[in-house]
Chains A and B, each alone.
Chain A
Amino acid sequence: MTSVATQPGPAPDAGLWDRLSIRTKRVLWAWAFLTVPIIFYAGIRFYPTFQAFWLSLTDWDLLRPASFIGLDNYKTLFSDPLFWRVFRNTFAYLIIGTPASLVIAFVVAYYLDRVRFMHGFIRALYFLPFLTTAAAMAWVWRWFYQPVPIGVINGFLQTVGLPAQPFLRSVDQALPAIMVTAIWAGLGFQIIIFMAGLRAIPTTYYEAARIDGLGEWAILRKITLPLLKPTTVFLVVFSSIGFLRIFDQVYNMTTNDPGGPLNSTKPLVLMIYQTAFSSYDMGYAAAQTVVLFTILLVVSLMQLWVLRNRA
Chain B
Amino acid sequence: MRSRTRLAGLVAGISLLAMGSAQAVEIEYWQYVFDSRVKAMDQLIANFQEANPDITVKHVTFPYADYQTRVVAAKVAGQGPDVVQLFYGWLDNFVAGELIQPLDPEVFPHEEIESEFFPIVSAMKRDGDYYGLPTAVRSLALFYNKALFEEAGLDPNKPPQTLDELVEAAKATVKHDGSGNITSEGITVEMGGQDHHWWREVLVRQFGGEPYSEDGTKVAYDDEAGLEALKFHSGLQTELNVGQNGFMDEGQAAFRAGLAAMTIDGTFRLGSFAENPFEWGVAELPANADGMRSNYSSYFANAIGALAEGEELEAAQKFLAYISSPEAMEIWLETVGELPARKEVALTEENLSDPTYGPFLQGLEYAHTTRFVDEAAQRQAMIDMENRIFLEGQDPAEALAQAAKEEQAILDKFYNK
**Closest Cβ–Cβ distance, residue A51 to chain B (whole Å):** 9
Q: Are A147 and B96 in contact (CB under 8 A)?
A: no
| A231: interface (CB < 8 Å) | no
**Closest Cβ–Cβ distance, residue A67 to chain B (whole Å):** 11
> Which among B97, B193, B377, B391 is the interface contact of A278 at CB below 8 angstroms?
B377
Question: Who on chain B is nearest to A274 by CB?
Answer: B376
Q: Are B183 and A149 in contact (CB under 8 A)?
A: yes
Q: Are A257 and B383 in contact (CB under 8 A)?
A: yes
Q: Are A164 and B179 in contact (CB under 8 A)?
A: yes
Q: Are B179 and A163 in contact (CB under 8 A)?
A: yes
Q: Are B388 and A62 in contact (CB under 8 A)?
A: no
Contacts of B247 in A (CB 8 A): 147
Q: Which residues of A, 114-165, contact B by the 8 Å Cβ criterion?
A: 142-143, 146-150, 158, 163-164
- In the complex, what distance in Å separates the CA atom of A277 from the CA atom of B143? 32
Q: Are A64 and B387 in contact (CB under 8 A)?
A: no
| A191: interface (CB < 8 Å) | no
Q: Number of contacts between A and B (CB, 8 Å)?
A: 73
Q: Are B249 and A257 in contact (CB under 8 A)?
A: no
Q: Are B246 and A147 in contact (CB under 8 A)?
A: yes
Contacts of A149 in B (CB 8 A): 183, 259
Contacts of B417 in A (CB 8 A): 64
Q: Which residues of A, 18-55, contact B by the 8 Å Cβ criterion?
A: 43
Q: Are B376 and A279 in contact (CB under 8 A)?
A: yes
> Which among B3, B97, B177, B244 is the interface contact of A64 at CB below 8 angstroms?
B97
Q: Which residues of A, 257-309, contact B by the 8 Å Cβ criterion?
A: 257, 260-263, 274, 277-280
Q: Are A256 and B192 in contact (CB under 8 A)?
A: yes
Main secondary structure, interface of A, reads loop
**Closest Cβ–Cβ distance, residue B203 to chain A (whole Å):** 20
- In the complex, what distance in Å separates the CA atom of A277 from the CA atom of B247? 29
- In the complex, what distance in Å separates the CA atom of A170 from the CA atom of B250? 16
Please encode chain A, from 237 to 253, with 1 for each CB lying within 8 Å of some chain B CB and 0 for all others.
Answer: 00000000000000000
| A16: interface (CB < 8 Å) | no
**With A43-B3, A280-B93 given, is the CB distance from A260 to B376 under 8 Å?**
no
Question: Who on chain A is nearest to B246 by CB?
Answer: A169
- In the complex, what distance in Å separates the CA atom of A169 from the CA atom of B237? 14
Interface size on A, residues (CB 8 A): 29
| B248: interface (CB < 8 Å) | yes
| B245: interface (CB < 8 Å) | yes
> Which among B69, B177, B387 is the interface contact of A62 at CB below 8 angstroms?
B69
**With A257-B383, A262-B387 given, is the CB distance from A62 to B374 under 8 Å?**
no
**Closest Cβ–Cβ distance, residue B241 to chain A (whole Å):** 13
**Closest Cβ–Cβ distance, residue A174 to chain B (whole Å):** 10
> Which among A62, A146, A171, A262 is the interface contact of B248 at CB below 8 angstroms?
A146
Contacts of A103 in B (CB 8 A): none
| B161: interface (CB < 8 Å) | no
Please encode chain B, from 63 to 83, with 1 for each CB lying within 8 Å of some chain A CB and 0 for all others.
Answer: 001001100100000000000
**Closest Cβ–Cβ distance, residue B284 to chain A (whole Å):** 26
**Closest Cβ–Cβ distance, residue A38 to chain B (whole Å):** 16
**With A146-B249, A148-B183, A149-B183 given, is the CB distance from A262 to B97 under 8 Å?**
no
**Closest Cβ–Cβ distance, residue A16 to chain B (whole Å):** 31
Chain A residues close to B by CB (< 8 Å): 43, 62-64, 142-143, 146-150, 158, 163-164, 168-171, 256-257, 260-263, 274, 277-280
Q: Given A262-B384, A262-B391, 9 other A-B contacts at CB below 8 A?
A: A147-B181, A163-B179, A164-B181, A256-B193, A256-B250, A257-B192, A257-B387, A278-B376, A280-B93
Chain B residues close to A by CB (< 8 Å): 3, 65, 68-69, 72, 93-94, 96-97, 99, 177, 179, 181-183, 190, 192-193, 244-250, 259, 374, 376-377, 380, 383-384, 387-388, 391-392, 417
A-B contact pairs, 19 of them (CB 8 A): A63-B94, A63-B97, A63-B99, A142-B249, A146-B248, A147-B181, A147-B246, A149-B259, A163-B179, A164-B181, A168-B246, A169-B391, A256-B190, A257-B192, A257-B383, A260-B387, A261-B391, A262-B387, A280-B68
